[in-house]
């Protein structure tokens, strides 16, 4: 029922004033709530919700997964620990855990993977963050091409993959230590690059601040940055961009 229908209901007295008043009182927030749902529906519908597991009490997490199980809805948990997985699994046996990317997934219906996002890492130690990004993008229906261990200190490894990387609608470039991968990749492709600094390294890497600064100061065009180790954030935004490429947007 939209506002006009309501008003006509009031006019023809099929809706009484108290009901209408209550409805209208909540309208702005319902609208906002609706928008939010609509927003989520656009990206998530058929895919499910996302839960940030780190720091959540285990009993709360179990309840959350049980509520999704009850509705047979998909849910993606990020930064889930092995212990959280064990506890959830005991209650919800169909839950799937990836110990590398630390995702904890209920997926009653698998999305068709479309488009293409390339997820690249500089080293092997960056792979956990990359898996969080890749699995997030896949959860939202994105086809992901994983291209790992192509750091700039051995530039030929990256160059060999240039054609593959260029094919993607969006590239996620993940690197710790000096964090230079993003700049080199952005110089090679014409699609947007999301750079993820990782905390891999020691000493003057300052727990990832060094790689973060590198990426923010990139002189390459077409690069934006997310928080240190934030694979989820990069995977989510890559899925948004990929969707634009797959479905088209406003012309």
- Site residues (CB under 8 A) for a second copy, limited to 178-197: 178-180, 183-184, 186-192, 194, 197
Q: Are 194 and 218 in contact (CB under 8 A)?
A: no
CB of 231 to a second copy, least distance (A): 11
Residue number, 72 or 97, with CB nearest to a second copy:
97
Report d(CA 169, CA 185) in Å as an integer.
13
CB of 242 to a second copy, least distance (A): 8
Contacting range for a second copy; rule: CB under 8 A; set: 68-76, 80-88, 101-109, 198-206: 198-206
Question: Which of 151, 143, 148 has the alpha carbon at shortest distance from 168?
Answer: 143
Binding mask 3-32 for a second copy (x = CB under 8 A): xx--xx-xx-x---x--xx--xx-xxx-xx
Which residues, numbered 208-237, are part of the site for a second copy (CB under 8 A)? 208-230, 233-234, 236-237
Contacting range for a second copy; rule: CB under 8 A; set: 51-59, 63-71, 82-90, 102-110: 51-59
Is residue 248 near a second copy by the rule CB under 8 A? Answer: yes
Which of 76, 95, 137, 241: binder of a second copy (CB under 8 A)? 241
Take residue 215 and report the two structure tokens written for it. Answer: 């990426």
Bridge partners, 12 (sequence order): none
Binding mask 78-117 for a second copy (x = CB under 8 A): ------------------------------------xxx-
List, in sequence order, the alpha helices (H) in the chain: 3-11, 17-44, 58-71, 82-91, 127-139, 155-159, 162-166, 181-188, 209-216, 231-247
Sign of CA dihedral 32, 38, 40, 43: negative
Sign of CA dihedral 247, 223, 117, 84: negative
């Amino acid at each position: 029922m939209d506002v006009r229908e309501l008003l006509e209901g009031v006019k023809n007295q099929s809706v009484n004033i108290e009901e209408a008043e209550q409805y209208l009182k909540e309208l702005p927030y319902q609208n906002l709530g609706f928008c939010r749902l609509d927003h989520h529906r656009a990206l998530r519908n058929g895919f499910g919700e996302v839960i940030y597991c780190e720091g959540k009490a285990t009993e709360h997490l179990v309840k959350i997964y049980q509520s999704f199980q009850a509705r047979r809805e998909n849910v993606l948990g990020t930064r889930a620990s092995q212990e959280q997985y064990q506890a959830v699994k005991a209650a919800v046996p169909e839950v799937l855990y990836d110990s590398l990317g630390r995702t904890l997934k209920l997926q009653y219906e698998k999305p068709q993977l479309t488009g293409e996002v390339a997820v690249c890492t500089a080293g092997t130690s960056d792979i956990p963050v990359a898996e969080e990004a890749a699995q997030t993008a896949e959860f939202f229906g994105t086809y992901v091409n994983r291209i790992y261990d192509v750091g700039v200190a051995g530039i030929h490894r990256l160059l060999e993959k240039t054609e593959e990387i260029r094919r993607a609608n969006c590239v996620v470039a993940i690197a710790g230590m000096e964090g230079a991968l993003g700049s080199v990749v952005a110089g090679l492709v014409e699609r947007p690059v999301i750079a993820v600094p990782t905390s891999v390294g020691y000493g003057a890497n300052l727990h990832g601040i060094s790689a973060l600064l590198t990426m923010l100061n990139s002189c390459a065009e077409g690069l934006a940055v997310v928080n240190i180790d934030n694979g989820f954030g990069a995977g989510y935004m890559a899925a948004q961009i990929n969707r634009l490429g797959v479905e088209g947007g406003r012309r």
